[in-house]
Each structure stands twice: as structure tokens, then as C-alpha cells.
Amino acid sequence: MTLESLEASAVALRAASSSLERAGRGLYASRQSVIAGACWPSNLALRFDDEARRVDVRAARAREESEGWAAAVARAAETYRKEEAARARAMDGLQNIVFQAGAIPGLLDVLGLGGLSVAGARVVPGTTLATLLRSLQAGRLAGSAGEPAGVNRASIAAGTGDPSCFLYAVSSLRRAQGQEPLEDGSFVPPSSILVERVPRADGSIAVMVTVPGTQTWALDPEDGNVFDSEGILDGMAYRDSQVRGLIDEALRDQNLGADDVVLFNSYSQGGIHVLGLLEDQEFLERYRVAAVTTVGSPVSAFAIPEGIPVLSLTNADDIVPTASGQVVEPSESVVNVRSPSRAGPAALLFPQEVVAKAHDLGNYAHDAERLDESADPAVLGHRAAVGAALGVGVAAGAAAGAPQTGSPQRERFAYTATDPKTKS
């Protein structure tokens, strides 16, 4: 529920009170007319006057209650507003500091677009940072979006456990990031995404795509890794990128039917590419995207379409999501989970170390464990959407995170991309 809806409810209750007051005046006038026009004595006129008096008493009581409810709802809205403002002012993490300082100008400087007029370009309602960069001479960036990457597919060890769990999503991201081995002890090659096929009871398929974050800070790495700095620029400033091309080719290779669905897990730069795909109407017409779980990504830089559940997990000290330049606004589609600072007062003394820990997938795995135990309605709602898409039942609370034995029918693939400009 938004503050606006509370305020609208208070207005509606006051309007109801006014209507009751007008009805009371009309009833009083009717009583006077009946008394003046009736033959005296008239038992019917007396009964009408007596009943009208009782109705007037009930209407007056309802009017007072409506006024009281309106005042209570208005007070609640104001209390919530003050609490949200106080939390926004509280320096409980580096995210708030960066948001208050304003991230967009600094990011535009990094992208070489600092001389452009941000204020003038953001007057259009619904403009996001991604669409802004595309409109502000984005061609000035030396990107690789127009150079398709070579893609190789390999069948790898199938996943085990409940794929609807948040911990499963983050563990998959750690495997795609090369931080954690697969179930058979092998590691996913760099520059790869994971695609997991989960058969559903009706014979259709749910495909879970796991897209990792930045793996090298080089603009054009020698090994051809597409999760590089250039990938970040492409993902933010263009409608295409090599990673998005990799995702699209992997999904085409899966030969999905009309009843099959796609889910995404993404981290950091991976979130940039996935969220960018959600802005692509042609992509959404080809694939039924059922849900997105993203970690440490600038969600508010993109326009999230209604009807696709998105859960964004960030940490109070993780400044990567602040690349959007704005906080995530409440919406029906996006659940914004923000874990508290892990550093406390040390954040200002050792910011680099704090940021590294805040953005670390291992620490986000601990947050995911707590999310699996959460009874928060919004979190459970997203978990239920993921579970329904995968054909997995979801229970509330800690039981929801109980591991399950992996089905032998489940398959998993690693799709590895290589930038054609380099030799691997």
C-alpha cells in the first residue's frame, strides 16, 4: 500500500461523512414537510417522524465514526511519511550517502557524457537512467553491442535443491561467477551464463537463466570475456549488448514453446543486461518471463513492465545499485529488499573495504538464507511466483527453504561467449 492510497482513503471517508451530513439535513426537511402537511392527529405521520428521528441518530453516529476514521487514517499516513523521511535521512549505509549526493552526474562523467544537460533530458515522465543515456548522444561511447559474440554450449552437472529458494538463486550466481564449484566439483568457464531446464507437471518447461556480474575491469580483455567494463557501458547506454545477445541465443537454442516460461537470476552487471531485456517488447513477445531475482543491480535505472515480478536484493553499503541515480520507487512489480549495513561506523573510515564486502556474493548468500526464512508478505509473494513458474510448492517461513533432491530430468547448460575482437 502506498501513502497516496492512505491519503485517498482519508479523503473518501471525509466525503462519506459529508454525504451523511447532507442526508441528515434532507431527512430533517422531510420530517418538517410531513408534519406541516399531515392531518392532525395522524398516526402515520407520527410513526414516520419517530422512525426518521432514529435514522437521524444512526446517521449522526456514522458521521462521527467516519470523521474519526478519516482522522486516524490521515494520522497514519503522516506517521508513515515521517518515518520514511527519517529513514531516508539516516546515514545507515553508503547507499544513502551516494543517493543524497546524486549519482547521475558522476556516472555521466565516467561515461564521457558529463557536459550533457541531465535536467533538461529528464523532464519526460517515466525517463530512466538507461533511456536517458540512450538519448544523450549515446553513440559517443565506444561499445561492442553491434559485434555479436561467439557462443559455445556445454552440458554440465544438473542442479540439486529447491530452485525456488533465494539461496539457490545466489548459489547459482556464485557458480556462474566462478566462486563456487558445481555439484560434480567442476567450475563454470568464465564469460558464461547458466541455463537450467526444469520440467513441469503439465509437460511444459521452465527455464532458469543465471547471469553473473562483472568478471574483469578491462575494456577489451585478451580472453574475450564479455562481462567486462565495456559490457557495463553497453548495457546502460545501448539497447543491445553482447551479453544480451548471449542470453537471446541461449534461449533460442532451448526451442521453447508457447507454454514454456523463463526466469532470471542476475547479479550486478548481469542485472543491467536482464533488466534491459525487460524493456525490449520484442523479447517479451518471444518469451514468457515469469519472474526476475536480481542482486546488487541498479534496478531503478530501467523501466520494469507491470506484471513481471522482480525482487531486488541490495545491501545498505552496496553502491553499485546507486548507478541508477535514484532509489527504487514502490510498485506492484518490484519488491525491494535492502539488508542493513554490515560495517557500522567503519563505513566512512574504510569505504573501499566496506563496498567490497557489501557487494560480495558470499555475503549476499547469507542475506538469501534469511530471505528464505522470511514471512514478509511481499517476499513470500515473489517466492510463490517463482515457485509457481517452476512448478514447485512454496510453504511459509523456514520450511520454504527446505532442500529437495534434484530430479534426474533437470538439465543444466553453460553458454560461454567470446568477444570476436580478441583471441581466446
List beta partners, residue 418.
150
Which residues are within 8 A (CB) of 214 and not within 5 positions of it... i.e. 6 or more apart? 227, 228, 229, 231, 232, 268, 269
Count the alpha carbons within 13 Å of 309 in the hemisphere toward its beta carbon: 18
Other C-beta atoms lying within 10 Å of the C-beta of residue 311? 24
Report the SS3 class of residue 288: coil
Residue (of 317, 321, 345, 326) closest to 101 by Cα position: 326
Residue 125 pLDDT: 42
CB-neighbour burial class of residue 78 (10 A; exposed 0-12, middle 13-18, buried 19+): middle
Q: Is 235 exposed, middle or buried (0-12, 13-18, 19+ CB in 10 A)?
A: buried
pLDDT of residue 114: 45
What residues does each domain of the chain span?
Answer: 3-89, 139-418
* pLDDT for residue 157: 94
Name the one residue in this structure whose C-alpha cell is 517515466.
126
Q: What is the pLDDT of residue 196?
A: 97
Report the alpha-carbon angle 217-218-224, nearest 5. 115
Rounded Cα–Cα distance for residues 359 and 319 (Å): 8
Q: How far is CA 297 from the centre of its chain?
A: 10
What is the residue-wise DSSP string for 80-133? HHHHHHHHHHS--SHHHHHHHH-HHHHHHHHTT-TTS-HHHHT-STT--HHHHH
Residue 28: its H or E element:
helix 3-37
Q: What is the pLDDT, as a whole number, of residue 144? A: 56
With DSSP H G I counted as helix, E B as strand and the rest as coil, what are the percentages for the chain, rounded to 5?
50, 15, 35
Give the Cα separation of 400 and 165 in Å (integer): 7
Rounded CA-CA distance 198/297 in Å is: 26
Using the structure block, give the residue that is written with the C-alpha cell 474519526.
68
Question: Mean pLDDT by 10-residue block, N- to C-terminus, for the chain (424 residues)?
Answer: 78 89 85 76 80 86 90 87 65 54 47 42 46 51 62 94 96 96 94 97 96 89 89 78 94 96 97 94 96 94 91 89 67 87 63 81 96 94 96 51 51 93 54
The amino acid that residue 219 corresponds to is L
**Rounded CA separation 118/302 (Å):** 16
> Using only C-alpha atoms, what is the Rg of the chain?
28
- On whether the CB atoms of residues 132 and 138 are closer than 8 A, the answer is no
Distance CA 384, CA 391 (A): 10
Give CA 160 to chain center in angstroms: 26
